[in-house]
Amino acid sequence: MAKIGINIKQGKIELPKVIVGIDLGTTNSLIAYVPNSEKSDVCGVESIKREPRIIPVRGQGLVPSVVYFDEHGSPSVGHYAKSKIAQEPERTIFSVKRLLGKSYKDLADKADYVGYKIIDSDSTSEAMVKIEIDGKFYNPIELSFLILKEIKTQAEKELSVHIEQAVITVPAYFNDSQRQATRDAGKLAGLDVLRIINEPTAASIAYGIAEKKSGNVLVYDLGGGTFDVSILTLEEGVFEVLATHGNTYLGGDDLDRSIAEFWLKKHQLTSNQLSKTELQMLRMIAEEAKIYLSQDEIWGHAEAQFEQVFQCVNINLTLTLSVSELQNTVAPLIGETLKSVHKALSDAELKPDQIDEVVLVGGSTRYPGVMQALMPIFPHVFINNRINPDEVVALGAAIEADVLAGNRSDVLLLDVTPLSLGIETAGGLMDVLIPRNSKIPTRLAREYTTSVDGQVNLKVSVFQGERELVGENRKLGEFILKGIPAMPAWLPKIQIQFALNPDGILKVAAKELRSGVEQEVEIQPTYGLTDSQVEEMLLAGFQNAQSDIELRLNQETINEGNQMVYTAERFIEKNGQHLSAEEIAGSKQRIEDLRCLLNDKADRNSINKQIELLNDYTRPFAERVMDIAIGQALKGKTLD
């Protein structure tokens, strides 16, 4: 690929800047851009065209979204990391995107599927999930940052440019927590994330659907780890998502898993009999079988067969799979995607014949059974898969980035809010409810709770800005929600709602959902800010992104540690009669060890380790006390 020309100014080499589009995928990630100009010769007439391109990373377009940590804790990302999945499964993290914005409670029943260790981070199982490798703890934001850093750094080398700004795509069903986690990962990688856009919107832009001016589009996106179907309406180049439905745990990986389970059942084995390495090897062979049987020249022969010898549990197994067996094995999963298609149609209040275009996205749509299943539902529509399904989202994101750079106007953008809006949470952190560049009008809500028993008032402080700590942002106002009924800590359910109207007026409402106590204020977020001040705030957010994220991660760990100390002490105080003297002493010692680390401002890995030690120690008798409470409740009694 040709390099972009450099500039020489006052004796210094200045690399040009490029705005890129990034598809941060579950299985693979890609980065793309639109060159400034590209000459073509058609019928002897020279013309200039602007087409998006995938930027090769270490010579390849697809970058496996896999992170491997060696014995020294040094990370590797991409194809080399993927090669370690079977060799060192406990050090190799894949499907990071499935972890974003999730707690251990969300993932507990799926933890056995991976070789790495997913940590139950606290007693409530509500905090962000963590991965432990050699006593060090990593959360999904940090892991996503490593993937983004790799593709950004290598793309800069490939093009000889600086990359500071990006458009990053997410599934349409991603909630605010998952979108904010994606944005944080971008900031940590040194990227000013201009916009988070939905993957189906990006795919539609790449297909040039905007040129059709109006119509209804159904985007069927089956990737490696996630599935979603989105229905968009297009009017004068503006996309609006009418409905979306999907499953964050349904993708090509799950097709592979169903094949692996088919083989285990066929050979009368269970996953518990295989080592983590053997399980990952079996999964990779299943992927090979799926790809082999999905070839056009093979698919039409029902009894065509894949065969491979696999050594596990000290025996050699001959793994065979025919086309018909593949179809039967994955049919239930394809059936689940069709349920989502019908649900999205229903939610959009549309019938199949009202869909003007069906677009296939995601590498797993190469499985011919997808097209075979969709054709009877949409017999009137050509199902569009002419663009590489792995690349289409990144290409669309690059076009959106080109729009934001002011280079094209064929895709219209809605008005957006210039700076992020949020509230102050424990430790002086900024919790963003409405990210900057969100289209307006918009309305978002999030639930919070109290941290102290009997708390009856809650101060809500509203801030604007791009820094992780509220002290570095602009305070817009505050109010106190009074009259919350006295309840134990974490029991109240307090919903904070931000509503931003087309004029930029922000209404903030707080309501305790159990009692109905509520209050509302109106704020003018942009009052008193000039364009240059907005630019200064954006620049400060970008320049301090990495240090701010580090401060945020440290503060969140401290908050979690303080919560654990409070919870454990209250538990012992209330249930001491059900614990032995040894259990009480052991708990108090571990509580004190954690408190000392917090007071000494220890590093977050040390604090995380002590949280885990306290959690592991108290879990057995906490479960025992819970059993006693349930037993007494069934008898009409309560614990003292």
**Active centre residues (catalytic):** 23, 97, 199, 221
User: Is the CB of residue 578 less than 8 Å from the CB of residue 624?
Assistant: yes
Output the CA angle 526-527-528, nearest 5 degrees: 115
User: Is the CB of residue 498 less than 8 Å from the CB of residue 468?
Assistant: no
Output the CA angle 112-113-118, nearest 5 degrees: 55
Using alpha carbons, select from 102, 165, 122, 61 the residue that is nearest to residue 406.
165
Using alpha carbons, select from 17, 156, 25 the residue that is nearest to residue 94.
25
Q: Residue 495 to residues 101, 179, 188, 446, 510: CA-CA distances in angstroms?
A: 18, 19, 29, 6, 6
User: Is the CB of residue 81 less than 8 Å from the CB of residue 68?
Assistant: yes
**The length of the chain, given as a count of residues:** 640
Could you tell me where the DSSP H helices lie in 505-636? 531-543, 545-575, 581-599, 604-634
Could you tell me where the DSSP H helices lie in 272-348? 276-293, 296-299, 323-347
User: Distance (Å, rounded) from C-alpha 115 to C-alpha 95?
Assistant: 12
User: Is the CB of residue 508 less than 8 Å from the CB of residue 433?
Assistant: no
Contact residues for 33 (Cβ-Cβ < 8 A; gap 6+): 18, 19, 20, 21, 52, 53, 55, 155, 159, 398, 401
User: Distance (Å, rounded) from C-alpha 168 to C-alpha 226?
Assistant: 17
